[in-house]
Amino acid sequence: MDYSLTLLRAPLFRGIPREDLPGLLEGLDAREHRYGRGEAVLRRGERADRMGLVLSGTLHIVKEDFWGSRTIVGLARPGEVFAESYACLEGEPLEVSVLAAEAAEALFLNSGRTLPDDLPGAAIFTRNLLTMLAGRNLALTRKIGHMARRTTRDKLISYLSAQALQAGRSEFDIPLDRQQLADYLAVDRSSMSTTLGRLRDEGVLTFRKNHFHLLREMDEAD
């Protein structure tokens, strides 16, 4: 199947002319793989010498503890990449596993290869990769800022305030459902739901599913 359109729409290949794509993929030694539902794409402890890009289906990024309990810490959908940081750090073992949530296909790219300066599309690809890595680093910094707060209330206030500032208005949608938000903030979902209810009862905000409206300033409290 031709996935050229998926690739050209992906942030990693944004701005690269369609005619330059085949040569660039060859230069990156691109390899396509298919996976069945539940099949492991990458396993914790393995070393990833290639970054992956989802062509079809959805992948789960899974964190496992010592006893084998699993928590989904991220998703990768068509056009999105995974294991890019590990691919850039030679020999670094994976701390997460990547599993196919459904039948899926992925393209693996040898991002560690030195691309010739005169290879069409190479400069754009490198710039896109650096931009993407910088964006991931910024997102992690923001997450750490929210998680550093002591209480569930403080973490919610920090996150929702940041989302409102990003949207430029007091009414906005967040990209996470309740369980994903609880996982993101590393809090108990039941406790988080109780805290959201209290904030609503206090007249601080209203919400419906992932849509929020901040009504007044939220004070952090112990």
pLDDT at 219 over 70: no
The reply to whether 66 and 159 lie within a common domain is: no
CATH (domain of 106): 2.60.120.10
Global pTM? 0.72
The reply to whether 43 and 121 lie within a common domain is: yes
What is the pLDDT of the chain when averaged over all its residues?
89
Give the confidence band of 165 by pLDDT, cuts at 50, 70, 90: very high
pLDDT at 211 over 60: yes
Among residues 141, 160, 191, the one where a domain terminates is 141
pLDDT at 118 over 80: yes
Q: Residue 221's pLDDT is what? A: 45
CATH (domain of 160): 1.10.10.10
Regarding predicted confidence, which is higher, 74 or 57?
A: 57
Q: Residue 222's pLDDT is what? A: 36
pLDDT at 188 over 80: yes
Regarding predicted confidence, which is higher, 88 or 78?
A: 78
Mean pLDDT of 113-132: 87
CA dist list (Å): 210 to 112, 180, 181, 191, 204:
39, 11, 10, 17, 16
Cα–chain center distance at 219? 30
Among residues 141, 163, 185, the one where a domain terminates is 141
- Number of structural domains (the chain) is 2
> 169: domain range?
149-214
Q: Residue 169's pLDDT is what? A: 94
What's the CA gap between 103 and 30, in Å, rounded? 20
For tokens 């199947």, the residue is: 1
Asked whether residue 120 is assigned to any structural domain, the reply reads: yes
The reply to whether 81 and 159 lie within a common domain is: no
